Amino acid sequence: MRWIDMHCDTLSEIAKRRKQDKNIRESLRRNYLSVDIERLKEAGAVAQFIACYVNVAEYDVYDDRSKDSTLSDRESAERWDTAYGAVLEMIRQAHDETGEDFLIAKTSGDIPSDDEKDSFERKVAGVLTVEEGGVLNGQLSRLDALYERGVRLMTLTWNYANCIGYPNSRDGAVMERGLTDFGIRTVERMNGLGMIIDVSHLSDGGFWDCIRHSRLPVAASHSNARSLCPHPRNLSDEMLHALGANGGVAGLNFYSAFLTDDAGTVRGETLSGVRAGVERIAAHAVWMIGKAGEDAVALGTDFDGFDPGSLPEGVRGVEDMELVWEAFQRKGITPRQLDKIVYGNVRRVIEDVWR
């Protein structure tokens, strides 16, 4: 099976490990995480979206400042600027891995069409993304700079409010807030550049603003169905329908806490400990097909974005994707639908959006 995955945090996790221990030799090519180039090739992957994720709270340049004190505007700006520098360094590291079997995809021609994929024997394509649009820090010129370096998708927010808008939240007032004026200009500029707008992590209000203001399909690169798992990171039925009508896609997230009501740990947020089975991924796929259409569902594994113990039972990484295909088939997903989920739908969005 040839496939495309819209989200992994492997590069960011490697950067974090290197920061903690300069002797770490893990890389995108080979590591002990869930994704590396060698295993992607063996598992049949054609393209892997690779997030340059930053948690701005980890970039405090004022070591003597109390964690509970309020950031001044200058401190906040310098923190975002430091996070932007970290993104640029991750991008550099990804480019350093290019070679005979790995390229950074910049045009749709770097990823074979649906008809060509089965005979494709060239390289695994890495699609660079940024997960935390706040690193723009109010400067659209940074968006252009990221595009020039190969970034082809940006997740507008992570879990904090930023210059673009507001994150998903259990606070209804926060969830209602939409994009800022700068956020709307960012959406318009991303359309102009040909960069995919990613609404995963965004507030509901921000989602609807993207649907209203984007001239091109948008993506929720790693989000599931809220009706099956009522986490605010997931999409409501109305949002799924709108995403499908927009021509966009939602990538199935493998994090157990987004598959079941009670599971997992993600970047310090502890939830109760139920591990999902692969059949839950298939259940979300079926539901999302019903609400958004079979052209709007894709893969967005979120590999290496959470503790590996929160992956579905039996799944360690890309080497176990066959278990997911089998679960889809047991759930009644047809061969045509399966091909769209694992490849065709993302490839279409790339063709529609990229320049």
Report the C-alpha dihedral over residues 273, 277, 281, 284, rounded to 10 degrees.
Answer: -70
Q: What tokens appear for 127 in the block?
A: 């699609």
What tens-digit pLDDT sequence spans the chain (355 residues)?
A: 999 999 999 999 999 998 888 888 899 999 999 999 999 999 999 999 999 999 999 986 554 444 445 678 888 889 999 999 999 999 999 999 999 999 999 999 999 998 888 877 768 999 999 999 999 999 999 999 999 999 999 999 999 999 999 999 999 999 999 999 999 999 999 999 999 999 999 999 999 999 999 999 999 999 999 999 999 999 999 999 999 999 999 999 999 999 998 654 444 444 446 799 999 999 999 999 999 999 999 999 999 999 999 999 999 999 999 999 999 999 999 999 999 999 999 999 999 999 8
What is the model's pLDDT at position 137? 97
How would you label 200-215 residue by residue, b for 16+ Cβ within 10 Å and e otherwise? bbbbbbbbbbbbebbe
What is the model's pLDDT at position 65? 42
What is the model's pLDDT at position 265? 44
> Which DSSP string corresponds to 45-89?
EEEEEEEEE--GGG--S-TTS-TTSPPPHHHHHHHHHHHHHHHHH
Q: What is the CATH number of the domain that holds 176?
A: 3.20.20.140
Do residues 355 and 194 lie in contact, with contact meaning Cβ atoms separated by under 8 Å?
A: yes
DSSP character at residue 224: -
Domain that holds residue 347: 3-353
Do residues 341 and 295 lie in contact, with contact meaning Cβ atoms separated by under 8 Å?
A: no
- How far is it, in rounded angstroms, from Cα 22 to Cα 45? 30
What is the model's pLDDT at position 22? 83
The residue type found at 168 is N
> How many domains, in total, are found in the chain?
1
What is the model's pLDDT at position 348? 98
pTM, full prediction: 0.94
- Give residue 353's Cα distance to chain centre: 16
What is the model's pLDDT at position 61? 54
Nearest Cα neighbor of 231 from 266, 206, 268 is 266
> Which DSSP string corresponds to 90-134?
HHHHHHHT-BTTEEE--SGGGS--TTTGGG--S-EEEEEEEE-GG
